[in-house]
Structure formats: structure tokens, C-alpha cells
Amino acid sequence: MASVVFPVGAVGGTAAATQGQVTLTVGVVSQGGAQIGGVTITATWDGGETTATTASNGKAFVDVPRGATVELSISSERFVRNSPVTIEDATAQEVTVEVARKGSATVVLTSPEGPVGSASVRLVSDGETIVSGRTDADGTFDTPIVEQGQYTLVTAKPTYYTNRTDVRIESEGAREEVSMRTGSVQVEVQVLDDRFDDPRPVNNATVRFGDIGTVRTTGGTAVFAVPVNTEHTVRATKPEYDSARTTYSVGESSNSIRLTIQREPTLVVQPVNRQVVVGESTVVTVVDAYGEPVANATVSLDGEAVATTDDEGEARITIESGGNHTVGASADGLESDGTTVVGVDVDGSTPTDSPTPEPTPTASPSPTPVPTTTSVSLPGFGPAAAALAVALAALLLARRD
């Protein structure tokens, strides 16, 4: 009579449960339902582990703690199971573990540019990733031992389109070759000022899209051509505005993203008059970066607080002396730049007025010398005739006397 060998923990086909333990009757079968003997079953739970080997009828008895969460995995020369069987709140029960013949695959990724190295490779079954890894420099990845059967082979790499291929592994060392291709998509970046209830486009903002490049917005929009399946830091900046940034993962279709920025907080003092007669007052208005009035702002004159703005952002200040005066404002931790107001004396002068320069005397041109000769030249007479004429004239005058 042939001897009968019972698996560990089995006595006469039944297991005697000890206090705090229960016995699992584990049956191992092929995908076709055949009972498989000689399979090692490993049961693990929090803080413990045990093993058993199936008999020729494909069954083994395994003692585990009552109420434990137990995982059952198998080891065999011909068979494999991709994932353990999990038992919640263990009780005495029968458990069937289905196994399959061993298989494996060599995955080779190629592209028009050559082998695709460092690409992600996944074998997926019923939505569960069974195997994952990366191709080597030659674009090759060897899977570990898996169940023979139907899988989805998913391959991916930045700048390449993701490839999903249905494959059937029917042996160990099966070869699966996949062709991949690169591509890019259009990504539109909108830069908006959300200071307003209806955010407004920000023109001429600078948008930097990772290492792709920099574009200035037109109508609040910048457009980029970006490689598929890549991740980038996108940043928007503009003078006098806070900056904004985000990390964006680009997929395989065109898309748009929004970045919102606002003007940097600031105060501006706007005097009604920039020249004020000494002893008189003027009104100043304090506004924010958007030109909105700022209430309850402290107004200072030459560094000394002198007034507080009303609900309209206005305050009245008095100029007590001539010359330049600095008007500033502060509110909520912000301080404005100083604005100059000139105090004018009653006579219209100010200490800062420059005296009108006296005109510089201009030298008169020297007069042209006048000839001092007393000789008279008469037409038609020489010198002798002229002298005779003078003598005759004198004689006639003497006779008249």
C-alpha cells in the first residue's frame, strides 16, 4: 500500500486548530482548473510567517492567527502567480489560489532617432501594474517572471508619445518590439490681474516656460510649443507687479493654463498744488497702486505726521515756511516716496529761487576816427585858387562893415 504524505499542519486531512488559530485549506489550481501539487505556499501576516506544500491533490493546510490579514504567495518551478491572495479577518475556510505557467518578455523600444533608453515600461493586467522598470541605453528591458497571458504594455518617456500595446506572453523570453515617436503640443499661458472681480489680461508680461523659452503676452496671452509628456516651471513677471509661478505637466493634447498677478502694494501722494503760499494749506490725495484712494493713511510733512486721510483718501496740510518740503504717507506697513511741495513767500520769492543775474556790460565799439584837416576842397579849384577865393571873400566882408 502506498504511503500518504500530508502537508505540514494536516492530520488525516483535517487540521486541529489551536487556541487563537484557524486553519486555511488552500487549493492551488491552474488557469484551466487542474489541481497542482508540489507548490510551496507562503503565508505572511503582521508579525509572522509560515509555509506549506500542496499534496498531489493540490491542497495544503495552513494555520494562521484568527482575525489576521493574511497574504498567500506561491513558489514553483513551472508555475507563478503575479500577486498574492489576500485574506481579511482570517477564519477557518477554503481558499483557492489560481496560478499560471511562467513567462517573461524582452521589450525593445525604438524610434526614428534610434533606441529609446531610460524609458518607462509597465506590464498591466486588469488595471493593475504587474511589472515596471526602465529600458537600458540600448532601449531594452527584460521583465521578471510573470504569468503567461494577456497584458497591456505601456511605454513612456518625456518628449515621446505614450504607447499602449496589447501583448500576449506565451513563453519565457518572448520578444516585444515597440516603435515610439516624439511630438509637441501647443500650450497657451494666460496672465491675468485678479485684483478685479473679473480678472483682466495683463499685456506685455514676461512668461518663461521652463527651458522652452520666454514670450511676452499680447492680450494677456503667451503661446508655446512644448514637447509632450514633460514637466516645466512656468513663471510670469512684469515690472511693478508681483510674480507668479506654477509647475505644469504637459500631456499629449493642447491646453491652457492661467497665472494671476497683482501690482506690488504701494502708496502715492498726489498734492493738488505743488507751490503753496507760506501760511496757507493745500489738499493731498493718497492712492494705491491702482489709483484707488487710501483711507486712514498718515500724511507726513518733512518727516512729521501732520494729518490722516479721510474716506476719499484726502488730507489737508499747511505750509508754514518757504522752500522745498517733502510730503509722504504711510498705511498698513507701506510708505510712499516723498513728494516735493514748494513754500512760496508772500513777496513771491522762495529761498530756493536763484537770483536773476545782472546783465553783463557790453563793450561799445570804438568810434571811427574823424579826419582833423581844416582844408576844404571846392569843386573845380586847386589849392591856390581856393586860397584866393577865401581872401576875396574876406575883403568883401570888410567893405560891408
Structural domains counted in the chain = 4
Strands 221-227 and 230-237: unpaired
Clarify whether residues 97 and 110 are in a common domain: no
CB-CB contact of 322 with 351 (8 Å): yes
Q: 274-308 pLDDT, tens per residue?
A: 999 999 999 999 999 999 999 999 999 999 999 99
What are the Cα distances from residue 21, in Å, to 3, 62, 85, 379? 29, 10, 19, 164
Asked if the structure places residue 365 within a domain, the reply is no
Q: Are residues 110 and 169 in the same domain?
A: yes
**Range with lowest mean pLDDT among 7-11, 45-49, 99-103, 209-213:** 7-11
Q: Residue 42 falls within a domain, yes or no?
A: yes
Domain limit, last residue, from 232, 261, 290 = 261
One domain for residues 64 and 36: yes
Confidence at 18, pLDDT banded by 50, 70, 90: low
Tens of pLDDT, residue by residue over 72-87, are 999 999 999 999 999 9
Q: Which of 146, 179, 212 is the last residue of a domain?
A: 179
Instruction: Give the pLDDT mean for 14-20.
Output: 53
Q: Which domain holds residue 212?
A: 184-261
From 250, 189, 197, 198, select the one nearest 221 (Cα to Cα): 189
Rounded to 5°, angle at Cα 61 from 56 and 64: 155
| Per-residue pLDDT band at 19 (split at 50, 70, 90) | low
